[in-house]
Structure 1
């Protein structure tokens, strides 16, 4: 019996670790574009899930942005059905007309389709093929954009979106290993031309920045960036827990948040409280920025009678009788 190729073993072990503690009776769905990362993830899941007594399904999204995209999605679906995935869905989405740049619009459309499909099949989890290299790119982009600790925490291995657990088993697996795993299994991944398009910041980081860092600082830079994300994520989770408790304690019986309670908090906790409260009021998470939170914080720490702070969604927050309150719209 031929020895199992180490990259194949690495991907399977990563999937097994992620699925071992999973609850729920529904299938696990793999989001698969046909690229090397998601293809290696799908092949590993098809092997591992049945051995854990779990059904595995697959969903592929057709963004409709390139010629032949529908045929490519159909080919991925046929391959998946052929190796035993059930259910299998190829879902078309419309990207045009969505807010934000093309990357953000495609991502929003993709996640909406993936989550809707997972909910329809009552899936126990949705598996995503992001690798250690994707994590390193995310950290660098967040650093360049001034993303703060939450941005530097990168992509979480586990999170929930609209009630669907999203799992990223491959965050400790390199992109090179997913390519080698596909080659060892005789799989031919699709090469997305967008991944090499210099019009996209992530593509430039992938093609130019990370290779330059690896040459200057050594190949361990990828692991170090990914480890930084894990460390910052742990700290951020702890601060978020403190902020949740502080938000509850700062609520005023008369409504809003008590300024004295907010002023007593450490700045890192207070700004998280204000961010969470603004979202609770209805401010869009995508539109809520550092500028908005800083203005809210000034109502607490730099009060000199200034007017209400304008938040996304037409919301206005004012300081009134020692409280931050949602002001009446004008």
Structure 2
């Protein structure tokens, strides 16, 4: 109360002592000053408080959600080693997968090897095509052509994975069966399906990385009498390499975590692949096909949660690689 009285005295004195008559507020006198209104927060200040509060609430909610997911998957995934006493080295290196028979039959090596094989092969096949398409869209194509290709790329991104899996099951698998024999299921079929699925992702990010190259780099190269292709190869691609690597890593993350489409063409046989056309299983295909057939808290269920924990760890590794490559690119 004392502070408000002092504020009123200061305001009254300031109004009464105005020296410039033509700017004096004639309708405001010492007795009409609303000190209470001057000391209350304004509407804009209250809106700022609300905005900050909602922002902090959203951030806290996301943090809680992420920590809860990691904690839940980690708790159930580690139960295999803590409660069921499965040897973690045996889990990572053994190819004997039959958790219903006991802890000595919990080996995930088949799924780990197959998951990495499919992911790496899909990235190796998709990356050259993605870079070629991105170079055409940014360096050679007209605006209409680039816009058309961009629309096609966005359309491919929006197609559900079950559609890719069905096309692979009805087209790719029979073709492989006719060409190489066997059932047609295996790493090759999964690689071709994932190639089509990750191609739009890598292409879009590669286009963005090429567009991010400053135009004066190209002009400087042309000023030195370099050809268009020499400029692309020695300048544009060199500068955009870190961002292109980031695009490839994002594509690999998409391929590593894909479940339904791979499950439809991989064969779902927990056997170590001895060639590209032998049926096998990935971490995701085993999870989607077996999780509904186990009882919560049992060894088979905990073993599947351990596979999910491996997928979560690999997702974190991919994110770490993206940040690492990004930091090196900034240097």
Interval containing the TM-score (normalised by the shorter chain):
under 0.3
Tell me which structure has the larger Cα radius of gyration: 2
Larger relative contact order (Cα-Cα within 8 Å, sequence gap ≥ 6): 2
Q: TM-score, normalised by structure 1?
A: 0.23
Structure number with higher strand proportion: 1
Q: Which structure is higher in helix share?
A: 2
